[in-house]
């Protein structure tokens, strides 16, 4: 059975001028796309099957990310249903020269595992086998109830 930490993924995208809006900061749609892609990877790592986006909770944009900075997307499965995985996603702006980060965006996505004909298929139970996994799961469950 996969654990929370088995599903933990971080990915980075450098914000280019083609990603920018009129304010020279990343367009929110690009951030959501990057979150969806990384979230699907966490869900697939958990399910062992292809996964598709079924639901996106509110996406909270907390601060902008300027062109030239990096968007660091953090993703992990923290809960599961019969065929679904709940994935916590957080994006941070990261200064590529210093590594300094600041939370900019957060959401919870639900992905559904599908079989070879595109029908929902069962997922395994999720386990928590480390202190960090326990902390991440507790943080996600707390964010869900906010």
For the stretch 111-135, pLDDT in tens is 999 999 999 999 999 999 999 999 9
For the stretch 40-64, pLDDT in tens is 999 999 999 999 999 999 999 999 9
How many CB atoms neighbour CB 47 within 10 A? 24
CA–CA distance, 42 with 44 (Å, rounded to integer):
6
Q: Give the residue numbers spanning the domain of 35.
A: 5-145
pLDDT at residue number 86: 98
CATH of the domain at 58: 3.10.129.10
pLDDT classification of 143: cutoffs 50, 70, 90? confident
pLDDT at 146 over 90: no
Percent of the chain beyond pLDDT 70? 99
pTM of the model: 0.95
Task: Tell me the residue length of the chain.
Answer: 146
- As for how many domains the chain has, the answer is 1
Which contiguous run of DSSP H or E holds residue 44? helix 28-47
pLDDT at residue number 144: 81
For the stretch 60-79, pLDDT in tens is 999 999 999 999 999 999 99
pLDDT at 145 over 80: no
SS3 18: helix
């Amino acid at each position: 059975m996969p654990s929370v930490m088995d599903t933990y993924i971080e990915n980075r995208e450098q914000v280019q001028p083609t990603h920018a809006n009129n304010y020279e900061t990343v367009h929110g749609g690009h951030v959501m796309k990057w979150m969806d892609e990384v979230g699907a990877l966490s869900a697939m790592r958990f399910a062992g099957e292809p996964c598709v986006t079924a639901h996106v909770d509110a996406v909270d944009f907390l601060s902008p990310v300027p062109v030239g900075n990096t968007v660091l997307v953090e993703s992990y499965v923290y809960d599961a249903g019969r065929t679904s995985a709940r994935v916590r996603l957080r994006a941070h702006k990261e200064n590529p020269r210093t590594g300094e980060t600041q939370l900019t965006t957060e959401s919870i996505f639900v992905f559904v595992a599908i079989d070879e004909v595109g029908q929902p298929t069962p997922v395994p139970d999720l386990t928590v086998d480390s202190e960090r996994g326990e902390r991440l799961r507790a943080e996600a469950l707390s964010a869900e109830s906010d």
